[in-house]
Structure 1
Amino acid sequence: MTQLSPSSQPHTASIPSPQPGNKSGSPLSSFEFWPGWAFYTPVVIYWILLGIRYGDFSTPTAANPRIETGGLCGESKSGILDMAGSVASRWIAPYTTLITGTNDTQRALEALAEKGLSVPVVVKPDVGCNGTGVKLARTEAELTAALAAFPRRIKLVLQRLIPYKNEAGLFYIRHPDSPRGEISSLTYKDIPMLTGNGHSTVLDLLKQDPRTSLLLHIYTPRLKARLNDVLPAGETLDLVFAGNHCKGAIFHNGAADITPALVDRLDEIMQDIPDFHFGRVDVKFESVEALRQGEKFEIIEINGVGSEATHIWDSSTTLREAYAAQFHHYRETFRIGAKKKKEGWKSSGLWHGVRLWRQQKRLLASYPMND
Structure 2
Amino acid sequence: MIKKYEFWHPRVFEAPFYIYLGLQCLLNGVSIRTLAKANYALNHGEIGIGSKYESQLAFDQSYFLPTELIGADLSIDEKKAQISAFTKSHGFPVILKSDVGCVGKGICKLSNESDIEVKAPLLLGSYILQKFTLNPFECGVFFIRRNGKPKITGINRKHFPSVIGNGVDDVLTLARAHERFTDHWYSFLQSVDTSLVLPKGEEKRLSFIGSHTLGCRFTDDMDLLTPALQQKIVDFFASQPGFNYGRADLKFESEDAFKRGEFIVIEVNGIASLPTHMFDPKYSVWQAYRIFFEHAKYLVSIAKEHALRPMELLSYRGVIKKASENQTLLNLVHQRLMGRTKT
Shorter-chain TM-score range: 0.7 to 0.9
Matched, 1:50 2:19: no
Amino acid at match of 1:78: Y
For residue 228 of structure 1, report the CA deviation from its aligned partner.
8.0
Number of the residue aligned with 2:282: 316
Instruction: Single out whichever of 91-100 and 235-244 deviates more from structure 2.
Output: 235-244
In the alignment, which residue of structure 2 is the partner of 1:70?
45
Q: 1:160 aligns with which of 118, 131, 140?
A: 131
Unaligned runs of 5+ in 2: 339-343
Would you say 1:141 and 2:141 are equivalent positions?
Answer: no
Map Cα deviations across residues 309-339 of structure 1 (whole Å, 9 max, x no partner). Answer: 1111111121111111111112211111111
Secondary structure of the 1:69 match is helix
The answer on whether the counterparts of 2:97 and 2:108 sit within 8 Å (CA) in structure 1 is yes
The Cα of 1:203 is off from its aligned counterpart by: 5.1
* One-letter amino acid of the counterpart of residue 62, structure 1: K
**Residue number in structure 2 paired with 1:34:** 8
How big is the alpha-carbon RMSD for the aligned residues of Structure 1 and Structure 2? 2.7
Q: TM-score, normalised by structure 2?
A: 0.88
Contact 1:62 1:347 in 2 (8 A): no
Structure number with the higher helix fraction is 2
2:76 is paired with a residue whose SS is: coil
Deviations 1:186-229 (A, max 9, x none): 01111111132321233543466xxx236355546865998983
Write out per-residue CA displacement over residues 60-104 of structure 1, whole angstroms, 9 at most, x where no aligned residue: 2111112111011212111011122xxx32211111111242312
Aligned residue runs from structure 1 range 254-265, under 5 A: 254-265=221-232
Counterpart check, 1:244 vs 2:199: no
Q: Is the 8 A contact 1:195 1:231 kept in 2?
A: no
Alpha-carbon shift at residue 251 of structure 1 (Å): 1.1
The alignment partner of 1:367 has SS state of helix
CA distance, structure 1, for counterparts of residue 222 and residue 295 of structure 2: 15
- String of CA shifts for 1:90-146, please: whole Å, max 9, x gaps: 211111111242312112223555xx4232101111111001111011112112322
Q: Aligned in 2, Cα 1:206/1:97: closer, same or farther, shift over 3 Å?
A: closer
Letter in 1 for 2:67: Y
Name the SS of the counterpart of 2:334 in structure 1: coil
Look up the equivalent residue of 1:238 and give its one-letter code.
R
Q: What is the SS of the residue equivalent to 2:307? A: helix
Q: Is the 8 A contact 2:30 2:300 kept in 1?
A: no
Match of 1:22 in 2: none
SS in 2 for 1:308: coil
Find 1:81's aligned residue among 56, 64, 67: 56
Distance 1:348 1:121 in 2: 34
Q: Do residues 183 (structure 1) and 155 (structure 2) align? A: no
Deviations 1:132-181 (A, max 9, x none): 11101111211232222223xx1111111112100110111112x22x41
Give secondary structure in 2 for the equivalent of 1:312.
helix
Q: What is aligned with 1:171?
A: 142
In structure 2, give the amino acid aligned to 1:284.
K
The reply to whether residue 359 of structure 1 matches residue 325 of structure 2 is yes
Whichever residue aligns with residue 24 of structure 2, its letter is L
1-side partners of 2:155 and 2:255: how far apart?
A: 12
After superposition, the Cα gap between the structure-2 partners of 1:227 and 1:217, relative to the gap in structure 1 and judged at 3 Å, is farther
Residue identity matched to 1:44: Y
Alignment CA distance shift 1:291-1:150 (3 Å): same
Cα offset, 1:243, TM superposition? 0.8
Could you list the per-position Cα deviations for residues 226-248 of structure 1 after superposition, in whole angstroms to 9, with x for gaps in the alignment? 89835131665433321100111
Q: Give the residue type in structure 2 aligned to 1:33.
A: F
TM-score of the pair, normalised by structure 1? 0.81
Q: Give the 3-state SS of the residue equivalent to 1:128 in structure 2.
A: coil
Aligned length: 332
Runs of at least 5 residues in structure 1 that lack an aligned partner in the other structure? 1-25
Alpha carbons 1:341, 1:347 under 8 Å: kept:
no
Tell me which of the two structures has the higher relative contact order, counting C-alpha pairs closer than 8 angstroms and 6 or more residues apart.
1
What SS does the aligned partner of 1:335 have?
A: helix
The aligned counterpart of 1:5 is none
Contact 2:189–2:207 (CA<8 Å) still a contact in 1?
no
Corresponding residue for residue 123 of structure 1: 96
Q: How far apart, in 2, do the equivalents of 1:279 and 1:30 lie?
A: 25
Secondary structure of the corresponding residue to residue 42 of structure 1: helix
What do the CA deviations read for 1:253-300 (whole angstroms, capped 9, x no partner)? 1111122221211111111124111110001001112212212x1000
